[in-house]
Structure 1
């Protein structure tokens, strides 16, 4: 018998007894309304969408054929070799594995990793991935952040700031050999990762380009690997404010990075510190160098320095370019929550270093011609990533601003300028381009 019927019978009984009152009727009516308003939890129509006959077995069969029949298709599907895929799967399986229940089987860890890698590689919507993997959108929205967090946990050693002088000197030697810039310990730059307008955020994430974003601030070595990355600062904050709040800058300002002691450049008696190369969006400081602003005549010392500076700093720009060309989730605004956008970006940074250092995936991830390179006479040939990311609206540059610099910082830059125009530091082709 329903609650309403019981209530009506009670009202009739009380009426017969003559003890019915307006208060009783009101209370009974309120009870009926409250019971009717109580929302019942709707039972889900499905846990995994069975769009085609065959279910999970057919899906696994499709993926097994993808691996067995054509390795090139698998590499394009996941952006890595099968060996590296199996390595990552073994590492993260204990973290992301789910248990079967009496009602249904859990989604296999292999499928969870494939869903995540395919999302990072293409940036497809969750609805598109639903048709490919036959997994519901709510399940995909939970799987991707979980797998990304697991990848960050197992790959945390691939992005690390050197903690010894020998580590910094190795980076400096690579810059000197590859890019003819001594005493350089990294190239720094920042990018806006564009995303959809976060709810109830007002103008916190609104940047000067008229989009909503979080800021990616990173430092790379001479071989296009990230040694530090800070992700998540609101897009409205100025570039200087973002950089000053990073752990890297605070350690640099407090001399806690274990940098080597200043040494003289070849042919000079003056001590020069180890420096980081940036663009005009950053302040000029003792350990942070940027190009001379304004126009300079061809052949001038300032123009020569700007050429040598930009030539070495180009590694960080190429690193960002390769990141956005391979992980095409950055080709358009991220349609996820801000926290998940930070997790996704961090995962791609770690995967970038992992694939760059892998023997089997490096030739696939960054084949010859991916980066800007030079001929023997100094001609610059643009990397293939510039064509791939043409018209990209998902990764934007930081705004350039003029800043006042200290006398000591200007003298450090002048010492490098004198070195690049001297017989010991010049390169044969610089006069043609500078």
Structure 2
């Protein structure tokens, strides 16, 4: 039950308040359609069938079946939920599938909710939680901060492949369009990345507001701070090929436009 407050003003009863009882529409704790998730949901039917066809599984998730299982083994314990007396929890495999399907397609939460037979708010929560766990689990192995030896190896790659000595990375930014948060005035966030000579990401910084300039995004990033403070672990200056009278030269990052590193 809910109540509506109505203020009645008249010459005799000025400021009297009347409470009128109002019935709210009944809402399901779990919609009957979603209760049939294990019988008709996309995960329990189509995804299980796709496991028999490696090529189709790869196209569906943009991830092989073997890598899916390996990732599930690593993140599963951290994304598992407990059943309650009111409803059965969505299992870790299905939670991972929902997150990967969203990342692979960019479909709306509502579209994935209908196909997987879960609430659209549930899809949003699953994507946020699972993506955060994937980042935390894989970061130490695949996106750890480069060491001094790593920078030297990157520089060697630029020298051999692009004939650019003493270069330890290419820096650029990407505006990712988003729905503007309240009172932010920004409709995008900035993905700032450093890649090596083989286009592999070595440093990633996400979160700068789209309205900020390229130089401002770099300055505010953890990478920019480390660049200014000299805490990136870059190698000592080294001599580059050329005339013998040249002394040691510093290691540098290349960027387009150049003002990104000069501002």
Instruction: Report the counterpart of residue 394 of structure 1 in structure 2.
Output: none
1:186 aligns with 2:169: yes
Alignment of 1:83-102 (within 5 A): 83-102=66-85
Instruction: Report the counterpart of residue 61 of structure 1 in structure 2.
Output: 45
Instruction: Report the counterpart of residue 280 of structure 1 in structure 2.
Output: 257
Q: Secondary structure at the match of 1:199?
A: coil
Alignment of 1:68-83 (within 5 A): 68=52, 70-83=53-66
Instruction: Say which is worse superposed, 102-111 or 55-64, in terms of deviation.
Output: 55-64
Q: Secondary structure at the match of 1:277?
A: strand
Q: Secondary structure at the match of 2:176?
A: strand
Which of 139, 164, 180 is the matching residue for 1:197?
Answer: 180
Does the Cα contact within 8 Å between 2:145 and 2:202 map onto a contact in 1? Answer: yes
Does the Cα contact within 8 Å between 1:49 and 1:134 map onto a contact in 2? Answer: no
Which structure's residues are more often helix, by fraction? 1
Post-superposition offset of 1:48: 5.1
1:232 aligns with 2:216: no
Which of 115, 127, 148 is the matching residue for 1:144?
Answer: 127
Does the Cα contact within 8 Å between 1:240 and 1:281 map onto a contact in 2? Answer: no
2-structure distance, mates of 1:192, 1:65: 37
1-structure distance, mates of 2:80, 2:119: 18
> Which runs of 5 or more residues in structure 1 are unaligned?
1-24, 206-211, 286-402, 404-434
Alignment of 1:321-332 (within 5 A): none
Instruction: Report the counterpart of residue 385 of structure 1 in structure 2.
Output: none
1:220 aligns with 2:220: no
The total of aligned residue pairs comes to 246
Cα displacement string for residues 60-99 of structure 1 (whole angstroms, at most 9, x for unaligned residues): 133211111x211111111111111011111111111111
Instruction: Report the counterpart of residue 159 of structure 1 in structure 2.
Output: 143
Aligned-CA RMSD value: 2.5
1-structure distance, mates of 2:198, 2:233: 21
2-structure distance, mates of 1:267, 1:236: 42
2-structure distance, mates of 1:233, 1:259: 24
Cα displacement string for residues 263-297 of structure 1 (whole angstroms, at most 9, x for unaligned residues): 11123332211110101253455xxxxxxxxxxxx
Does the Cα contact within 8 Å between 1:49 and 1:135 map onto a contact in 2? Answer: no
Instruction: Report the counterpart of residue 114 of structure 1 in structure 2.
Output: 97
2-structure distance, mates of 1:267, 1:227: 29
Does the Cα contact within 8 Å between 1:218 and 1:230 map onto a contact in 2? Answer: yes
Does the Cα contact within 8 Å between 1:48 and 1:134 map onto a contact in 2? Answer: no
Instruction: Say which is worse superposed, 250-259 or 89-98, in terms of deviation.
Output: 250-259
Does the Cα contact within 8 Å between 2:37 and 2:118 map onto a contact in 1? Answer: no
Which of 104, 109, 114 is the matching residue for 1:131?
Answer: 114
> Which runs of 5 or more residues in structure 2 are unaligned?
1-12
1:36 aligns with 2:21: yes
TM-score, scaled to structure 2: 0.84
Does the Cα contact within 8 Å between 1:187 and 1:219 map onto a contact in 2? Answer: yes
Post-superposition offset of 1:145: 0.4
Which structure's residues are more often strand, by fraction? 2
TM-score, scaled to structure 1: 0.52
1-structure distance, mates of 2:89, 2:172: 42
Q: Structure 1 residues 141, 43: CA separation in 2 closer, same or farther (over 3 Å shift)?
A: farther
Greater relative contact order structure (CA < 8 Å, 6+ sep): 1
Instruction: Report the counterpart of residue 175 of structure 1 in structure 2.
Output: 158
Structure with max Cα Rg: 1
Does the Cα contact within 8 Å between 2:218 and 2:260 map onto a contact in 1? Answer: no
